[in-house]
Structure 1
Amino acid sequence: MSSTTPNETDWEDVLLHVVTGKGGTGKTTVAAALALALASRGKTVLLCEVEGRQGIAQLFDVPPLPYEERRVASGPNDGGDVYALAIEPEAALLEYLDMYYRLGRAGKALDRFGVVDFATTIAPGVRDVLLTGKVYEAAYRNKRSKGARRYDAIVLDAPPTGRIAQFLNVNSELAGLAKVGPIRTQADSIMTLLRSPRTAVHLVTVLEDMPVQETADGIAELHAAKLPVGGVVVNLVRSNELDDEARDQAVEDGLPRGLIEEDLRRVGIEPTGTMLDGLLTEAREHAERRDLEDEQRKRINELDVDTYELPRLTDGIDLGGLYELAADLCEQGMA
């Protein structure tokens, strides 16, 4: 776990927070909570998604996001604001052509003829080049982006861990193909940001074998690609209903059946044999699950990165739940 005090943050100088994780670990939820946590520090934050799932809109209970930066929430206690953007490769390409080559009308004509869709579909990596290029543009707004909003932090809900290194490293490959010219310059600029201390790639996992292994593999791939590893967020952590002694007893079917029966009667419940059997079975399964989770937590600690934990919310995720998770991240020093 991070040792940061509540008034400090582990990633104070980071501009771009990239959030990745195996499917099902809740990376979009963590990205949204992180954006809110940063906003609670008074920052103006852009939360981006690139997978076309409209996960951000669902979490914040707003209409599907267009290719336009829209305010979706404010940080608590008069904090900053969270803006959201669903990045579409086709729209990003048209914007790129207009911004760098002044092909506004010509670019729209290409779109009508299907050339844009062809380019982003047939050429491997082009989509990722455009997606990362838009994130870079939002991070370093310049005179070409006259009147555009500037952000103190950007949170990217990125592709899954299995392809995060390839996604972020695509401009390095492009730079190898384009030896000179504006394409090479743009690719180099993007990679400079992605490999700098201004970027942190955070990985989301749960306390299960496959997600933890994918997290370890992802960290190794990021290191190999010289991309900056941030923290590991352990999501959906279950509360511990039993202390260590009771857990040991539960695993060995040694919980005091008689005492449990007395406690139930004390609160007005008349226990049956079937009820007691069910409770003891549930206790054993909980204890066994916690033992397995502790083994996975040890594996995560061995990764030697800052770790944070977020609870499983019993009522599911809504905007109120996101604020709860954001507060947890602030308390642990992630934002």
Structure 2
Amino acid sequence: MRSVRLLGLLVTVSLLPACPIGDLFGDGETDGDDDDDGNDVNGFVSATDGATAGGPGGDGGWESGDQPTTTGIEMTGADNEPEAGCPCAEGTELVYVLSDVGSLWSFDPKSGSFAFIADIHCGGMVDTYSMGVSRKGRAWIQYWDGDLYTVDLNDASDPVECKDPGFVPGNPMFPQFGMAFVANSLNDPCDKLYAHSGISPDLQGPDVGALGVIDPQTLELSTIAGIDYAWGELTGTGTGRLFAFQGSAPAILTEYDKNTGDVIDVLPLPGLKSDNAFAFAWWGGDFYLFTSTGDFVTNSEVWHLDFDNSDDSDQALTLLTQAPIRIVGAGVSTCAPPLPM
């Protein structure tokens, strides 16, 4: 998950010559367009319209005419009919991470190393937002248009083509969302995709955000409950536990009851923020958190939280390394080991 900054727009404005804007366009207008609405500059939407030029609108959608090209994406339908026992596909045992420019990598918590998998070709879109990984070995990827697309982690192509399962975006509580697959229970390994509101990192208070769940067959997104954070990422376990990385200065780790949205436990994460690019994953009883602070070009730091205290560290939070990419999504399937290895 990541927030949008107007850095590029500010740099562009700062480089304009010191003369009236109307003189730049030579049309006698101060906004650079041919009409009198005062909103457009050579076809771009002004910041006062609630959107950045050529990017996501203030409501999480795209302004008319600015949508990325999405032609040629294969429609597959949900393709989620469970096999008996919901077995684990190959390529589901590690943590998988998504860069801000649409490349897939794996992260091995045992060695702390990253490995490139493939770039993603998805109809011309490059602005990724979040990701979850299912037991079937599929990465479910969200772009800034709010829609969901899938990629087969075992596809050896590079770039790998995304597919459209038929999810319909537009829920106002989930214009974009952090996501994770979670097993139904300790005795039922079949998984569902859960969602956390992605409205604004600064929005906190009673019921400003929501937890949701996506039906595996219909892909309908239903709200489970209102929550106090409108910005966060999720990770889940093969035993049915759901966790959120949310809040800022400091961020917190929250365990939710995935059926009711009730808060089970909260753990502060001192020194970490979740207002820029961030993601996290449960693996082997611990958490691996990926955070990027500062500007857009900063690669993510990788943090380890000894959640189960298997290292006798009193749940210490330790900086491990720096990733080779800026990570906006981390997916771990419910096939990942639940205990230390």
| TM-score, normalised via structure 1 length | 0.25
> Higher strand fraction: Structure 1 or Structure 2?
2
> Higher helix fraction: Structure 1 or Structure 2?
1
| TM-score, normalised via structure 2 length | 0.25
- Larger Rg belongs to: 1
